[in-house]
Structure 1
Amino acid sequence: MKTRKVRGGLRLLLLSATCMTASPLLAQDASVDERLDRLEALVEGLIERLDAQQMAAQQSEAELRAEQKAMRAQSEALLAETQRMQSNNQPLEQQLAALTERSGDGFQVGKTRITYDGYVKFDAISQRTSGGQLANNSILRDFLIPGAIPVGGNASGFDTDFSARQTRFLFKTETDVGTEHKLTGLIELDFNVTDGGNERVSNSFVPRIRQAVISYDNWTFGQTWSTFQNVGALPDSLDFIGVTPGTVFDRQPLIRYTNGGLQIAVEQPETTVTSPTGARVLPGDDQLPDVVGRYNWSGDWGSFTAAGIVRQLHVSTDDLMGVDDSAFAYGLSLSGKLKVGEKDDLRFMATAGDGLGRYIGLNIVNDAAIDASGNLDPIFTYSGFAAYRHVWGAKTRSTLGGSYFKADNPILLTTNQVTDESWNAFANIIWTPVPPLDIGVELMYAERSLEDGRSGNLQRVQFSTRYNF
């Protein structure tokens, strides 16, 4: 229709123009008709070309709209998928961000992020022991071991030692195993309580494994702090532990399940027995793991932990005249860290139980003794500590602490040459000139008494520097 109108309009236009310029001579009418026919043919050709171009343009526009619609649909689908993936990956991203924040020196190996930390520590210790001179290789010269304090000697001893053996190094790993699971690892080394080295030439000591742990979601496998111990309650001391007589302290292989504040674990068993001569015997033939249950509470006020343990003590050895027996052991420990004011805190622990010997104070007494019938008799103990930390300012802090241990030894079975009680007290001041570096001085007094009434004490001054990295 549109083409006919255009053609008609052009015909009228050409006819009008021709009539206006036509000669009055009738002989020219034929030539005018011919020219009109030629012009009409040209116009029709032009119109056909315009129609073809218009149809092509309409077709291209339709194809472009279809292509744009398809691209828009694909973009919307891709955006939705990206948002879904981002939502699913958010926890993992947060974990990786936190890991990077904790250690900017970490590095990536495949899907595993590796970070590290630890510290370099130097100790200078001068101490006097009232019960006699300490042996050159005595572990008591590095840190407080209550069961090693000399008693009943005729002369006191005085020793000064420098050491860097508490220096510690940790590797931490976190492997990307998807958004539904979390896999981490930890290896920790130090140089304490190891062979090698001497104070004469090299002072070279071999490293040891403190911790080697695999964590998968809620499960922990490997060697780490016993679930019965609350590491977070330990005081801020320069000594390795600080309140050794009154604290649970044990690292060992275990399997642990954690769900919120609840922890349940089975841990390496090991029975320590006092022989009829008072000697310590390690049979090494335990049958069942130690079982620990624990619950942790925390809030703005601080933290509190309640832990219980059940053990089977077992002996089957010729070292104890062919004794073959087992006994039930148990214990309960309450501990925590309570905030006092804006920056101060009070840390504490109270523990009691039957057959807990190796868990308390670095095995001050043994788990059990042997009665006249060849049966195990668990030894009851109770212990505890308290430590108050005061922050003087942005760079200085101090801790005042003390601990106590008591054993109810069956002396008819253990003799009266075993430890009856032990206690200690300490005070320190620690200065932090820059945040990674601590410099401090600590004074300590510790005492140990035997069942026969003999006792010995230790007086110590310790200077330490520690660079945390």
Structure 2
Amino acid sequence: VIHDFNAVGLKPGGSVEREFITADIPVGGPAADITNRTGFSPNQSYLSGWAETDTPWGPFRVYADVNLMGSTTDAELQIYKAYGQWGWLKAGLDYTLWLNQATIPNTLDFEGPNAAPEVRFTQASIKIPLQPGSEKRGLFFTVGVEDAAGDITLPSGVADVTSVNQFPSVIGKLSYEPDWAHMELGGLYRRLKAEGTGYDQSIDGWGVTFSGNVTTWGNDNFIWGLEYGDALGAYMQDTAGLGLDAAPTSATNSTLKAISAFGAWAAYQHWWSKSLRSTATYGLVRLDSDFDLQPQTADQGTYKQTQYASMNLIWSPWPPFDVGLEYMFGHRTITDRTAVYGSTTGQNHRLQFTMRWNFDWER
């Protein structure tokens, strides 16, 4: 059950958005006037499966996840993950290699913090242990490629202009995985291109990230993530799909400019007892606004910054069953020159009550 005290959704009259997307908080106009709405959602239901077989060179495993999150307003089936893993090798559809999957906080809302790169791409990678002679292999180096399409705002004055991926994104990261932590330091390189009639522009994208999950006291844990670079719009949860990898320099200069981005998120999970726990989460995304990107619609505005915060209380009377309440707050800021009805900021408060049964808890 979801209740919005303010508004989420840039289209007036649209259905209740079943994910808390801070990029969709309206800052003014008719969409911002649609407040105090309640909705029900089965979207976070999912089915996961895996299979394993032995080979002369070790076990080969395949995984598949299916859920109803194909749409933010309807229950639409989608294949969420599908990949295989054999020793050091992994290939298929999964969360981007850019994400340290140990840093996904335990939120009831499926979207989670705005800055976390919970986006999925087809990929191939190899994870190499750097301490092959020791019993506990806590240090690893992962390198891989993934098919992350360029998310570019194309110049409106160029005929037949399209974005082209010149080659897959390349990601390398060093991970430290002792029993009490999982920390990663990574780098990314992308090459994006847009071409049309009399137009051919290429840009370099890059990024650095540092993230971790550390056990503190008892079962408590602290999560953090930092990321910065150029052309990272497709890699952040909040900005993916908004054309914020790159944009024309100005309305009169169609030269592509990579958009600089900074993202950070942190969470702390505390166990009050064996069956009762809480997670507090915060996220921040800020983009370089020194460009002349225009909004797609008059009521949208151009993205500058969003903030996300949540707090929940989850009770698990027995392991497969959770019942919980979560409070969420989001704040969105757009650029001054794309103000909507004279406003550049908007916010929303949301409450979500969730009951879920997790039948793969023993895996």
Q: Same fold (TM over 0.5)?
A: yes
8 Å contact kept, 1:146–1:422: yes
Letter in 1 for 2:206: Y
Q: Is the 8 A contact 2:301 2:334 kept in 1?
A: yes
Counterpart of 2:210 in structure 1 is 334
What is the aligned partner in structure 1 of residue 228 from structure 2? 352
Q: Check the 8 A contact 1:131/1:456 in 2, yes or no.
A: no
1:92-131 equivalences in 2 (<5 Å) = 124-130=1-7
Counterpart position of 1:315? 194
The residue number in structure 2 matching 1:83 is none
> Does structure 1 residue 193 correspond to structure 2 residue 64?
no
Does structure 2 retain, via aligned residues, the 8 Å contact 1:233–1:349? Answer: yes
CA offset at residue 326 of structure 1? 0.7
Counterpart AA for 1:456? G
Give the structure with the larger helix fraction.
Answer: 1
**TM superposition shift of 1:231:** 1.8
Look up the SS of the partner of 1:232 in the other structure: helix
For residues 22 and 202 of structure 2, what CA distance do their matches in structure 1 show? 28
Of 277, 288, 302, which residue of structure 2 is paired with 1:418? Answer: 302
* CA deviation vs aligned residue, 1:7-27 (integer Å, no higher than 9, x gap): xxxxxxxxxxxxxxxxxxxxx
CA distance in 1, matches of 2:55, 2:80: 27
CA gap of 1:425–1:459, structure 2 versus 1, over 3 A, is same
Q: 2:154·2:194 contact (CA, 8 Å) conserved in 1?
A: no
**Would the alpha carbon gap of residues 176 and 361 (structure 1) be closer, same or farther in structure 2, given more than 3 Å must change?**
closer
SS at match of 1:287: strand
Shift of the alpha carbon at 1:374? 3.4
Q: Which residue does 1:148 correspond to in 2?
A: 24
2:183 alignment partner, one of 291, 301, 304: 304
Q: In structure 2, what residue type is equivalent to 1:446?
A: G
> What SS does the corresponding residue of 1:432 show, helix, strand or coil?
strand
Matched, 1:184 2:23: no
Q: Check whether the contact 2:248–2:292 (CA below 8 A) recurs between aligned residues.
A: no
Per the TM alignment, residue 309 of structure 1 is displaced from its structure 2 partner at its CA by 0.5
Q: What residue in structure 1 maps to residue 167 of structure 2?
A: 288
Pick one of 169, 172, 178 that aligns with 2:50. 172
TM-score (normalised: structure 2): 0.84
Higher relative contact order (CA 8 A, sep 6+): 2
The answer to whether 1:448 aligns with 2:328 is: no
Q: In 2 relative to 1, CA 325–150 (structure 1 residues): closer, same or farther, beyond 3 Å?
A: same
1:388 matched to which residue of 2? 268
Amino acid at match of 1:455: T
Change in Cα spacing, 1:137 to 1:413, as seen in structure 2 (3 Å) is closer
- AA at the equivalent of 2:39: D
CA contact (8 A) 1:389 1:399 kept: yes
Give me the whole-angstrom Cα distance separating, in 2, the residues matched to 1:282 and 1:442: 44
Q: What one-letter code is carried by the residue in structure 2 that aligns with 1:460? A: R
Equivalent pair of 2:228/2:260 in contact (CA under 8 Å): yes
1:461 has 2:337 as partner = no
CA contact (8 A) 1:214 1:221 kept: yes
Structure 2 CA distance for aligned equivalents of residues 378 and 456 of structure 1: 26
Deviations along 1:151-180, whole A, 9 cap, x unmatched?
1126242221111111111121112223x2
User: Aligned residues: percent identity?
Assistant: 26
Measure how far apart 1:222 and its partner are: 1.0
Q: 1:377 to 1:232 in 2, by over 3 A?
A: same
Partner amino acid for 1:437? F
Distance 1:413 1:137, change over 3 A: closer
Q: Distance in 1 between matches of 2:225 and 2:123?
A: 23
Secondary structure of the corresponding residue to residue 5 of structure 2: strand
Does residue 374 of structure 1 match 2:254?
A: yes
Q: Which residue of 1 aligns with 2:88?
A: 218
| 1:314-359 deviation line (CA, Å, top 9, x unaligned) | 11136xxx53111111001111111111121111111100111111
- 1:431 is the counterpart of 2:315: yes
Alpha-carbon deviation of 1:136?
5.7
| Aligned with residue 268 of structure 1, among 121, 144, 147 | 147
What residue in structure 2 maps to residue 80 of structure 1? none
Check 1:253–1:284 CA distance in 2 against 1; reply closer, same or farther (3 A cut): farther
Corresponding residue SS for 2:102: helix
Question: Which amino acid is 1:357 matched to?
Answer: G
Specify every segment of 5 or more residues in structure 2 that has no aligned partner in the other structure, as ranges.
130-139
Structure 2 vs 1, CA of residues 398 and 187 (structure 1 numbering), >3 Å: closer, same or farther?
A: same
Indicate the structure with greater strand content: 2
Question: Residue in 2 aligned with 1:109?
Answer: none
CA pair 315-157 structure 1, distance change in 2 beyond 3 A: same
Q: How many residues were matched structurally?
A: 331
**Secondary structure of 2:23's aligned partner:** helix
